[in-house]
Structure 1
Amino acid sequence: MFLAGVYLQFIFRWNNVFINILWLMIMVTAATITVLRSTNLNIRKLFLSIFCSFLITVIAVLVYFNWVVIGLEVIFDSRYVIVIGGMLLGNSLRGSIVGLNSIYQQLKKSESCYLYCLAGGATKFEALMPYLQDSLKFALMPTIASMATIGLVHLPGMMTGQILGGSNPMVAVKYQITIMIAIFTVTSLNVVLTFLFSIYASFNRYGVIKKGIWKNH
């Protein structure tokens, strides 16, 4: 944390758009590696798929949040890109791990059922749809549970920081609601995009999952 404070001082002082975007990509890279290691999936085969899904969803939501919600003139301002981007990545990380792990573990355990659906005439997407639906449900459960208990069980970081900084509690609540919606959006979009992008790396042309997808398979 001390080192984080040191390098953030320099990044905030420079506030260069290219450096800010580069740092965001480093954050996305770290998140991607964390997800793959936590799900025991092959990093070399799935890194690009998950990296692209994280990058697309975070940048899309970040641009909307900074431009439309906050109304920044410089969308990639370092204080907002790194802080808000870090909140989106950090809070969606658990959901992404749960969602991705759910898809591939279910496929690993019930591969025969998946192949049976293919043999029965289902397309690859039709056979995979139940796995995607279950993974989305599992991925979003922590975020939904957290959203349901805000203000009653706990006060989230952004809301607490704003209140301690002297902001009106209602203003802090509005920002926190916006952040929770953004986290929910990033998590759900990331699971779907990861699923779609990884299909090409995970399955052969016959729709059969490749054995090298798992590290220890």
Structure 2
Amino acid sequence: MGARDFTLLSLISLFVFLIPVFYINRRLRLTINKTMITSISRMCIQLCFVGVYLEFLFKFNSPVLNTVYLLIMISIACPSILKSSNLKIRKFFIPVFFSLLIPFAIVLFFFNAMVVRLDNLFEAKYLIPIGGMLLGNCLRSNIIGLNNFYSGIKKDEKVYLYSISLFNNRIQALKPYFKESFLAAITPTMATMATIGLVSLPGMMTGQILGGSIPIVAIKYQIAIMLSIFYTVYFSTMLSVLLSLKVGFNELDVLNQDIFISKE
């Protein structure tokens, strides 16, 4: 027994709450109404498209199609990460792509093979939703990690160059910036794990229960997915910085200034 269905009209009724939101924004002179409309519209269109496409994927359940879809998801995530990190896409796309792909693929297939123990590791109803959750959490962590790392060095470039002159070793000079950016990136995930179940009921657990699973099964899945998310976030954030160093710095260990997106 799945979750109770509801009509399109019932869904549309939720939009009534936008009226007071728009009114308050207007009174407070918050110029975000247009952005809100754009965001909500994009969400609805994208989810409708995904719903139709997932129905197609689930029906055919082709390993090739499922893999291609995951690679497309990673390819779309990379420009979003780099744009939000104020870094040029063409310079950082490849290192960020592989920093996402490597831990993402290892954790996802380990989850399907060793945790759920699927006969078909490319089973669409597991591969796509689980992969989406892993990648969605990596998006935020990689933005925080890359942005803090490169903006921190750019801001304190004289301090960094002084450290280079003292240590004569780029790794030692970069260590404080790496630690700070890495902790900032993984702290939200650790905070979520520390409060899950007390402050909020997570989406996967709620979905499992609404789908008819008994609570203990939903809890086991939620613990498994949270651990998988943490591992993917941890290693992808670390790799995104490490794999990008060759692009970010020249042969003299000086930060390349042409890696940043111009704000002009």
TM range (shorter): over 0.9
For residue 13 of structure 1, the aligned residue among 49, 54, 59 is 59
Report whether the alignment pairs 1:189 with 2:226: no
**Residue 150 of structure 2: aligned partner:** 104
The answer to whether the 8 A contact 2:84-2:143 is kept is yes
Percent identity between matched residues is 47
**Residue 69 of structure 1: aligned partner:** 115
Superposed structure 1 runs of 4+ greater than 3 Å apart: none
Q: Distance in 2 between matches of 1:155 and 1:61?
A: 23
Q: Which amino acid aligns with 1:64?
A: F
- Paired residue secondary structure (2:180): helix
Report whether the alignment pairs 1:23 with 2:65: no
For residue 198 of structure 1, the aligned residue among 203, 224, 244 is 244
For residue 97 of structure 2, the aligned residue among 27, 35, 51 is 51
Report whether the alignment pairs 1:143 with 2:189: yes
Deviates more, 1:198-207 or 1:115-124: 115-124
For residue 131 of structure 1, the aligned residue among 171, 177, 184 is 177
* Structure ID, larger Rg: 2
**What root-mean-square deviation, in Å, do the aligned CA atoms of Structure 1 and Structure 2 show?**
1.2
Q: Distance in 1 between matches of 2:53 and 2:121?
A: 21
Q: Distance in 1 between matches of 2:120 and 2:191?
A: 34
Q: Distance in 2 between matches of 1:166 and 1:149?
A: 25
TM-score, structure 1 normalization: 0.96
Q: Which amino acid aligns with 2:194?
A: A
Gaps in structure 1 of 5+ consecutive residues: none
Q: Which amino acid aligns with 1:154?
A: S
Give per-residue Cα distances to partners, 1:19-62, cap 9 Å, x unaligned. 11111000001111110111111001001110111011110110
Q: Distance in 1 between matches of 2:62 and 2:139?
A: 26
Q: Distance in 1 between matches of 2:130 and 2:168?
A: 42
Gaps in structure 2 of 5+ consecutive residues: 1-46
TM-score, structure 2 normalization: 0.80
Give per-residue Cα distances to partners, 1:136-182, cap 9 Å, x unaligned. 11011111111111111111111001111222212211111111111
- Paired residue secondary structure (1:120): helix
Q: Distance in 1 between matches of 2:84 and 2:133?
A: 19
**Residue 204 of structure 2: aligned partner:** 158
How many residues are paired up?
217
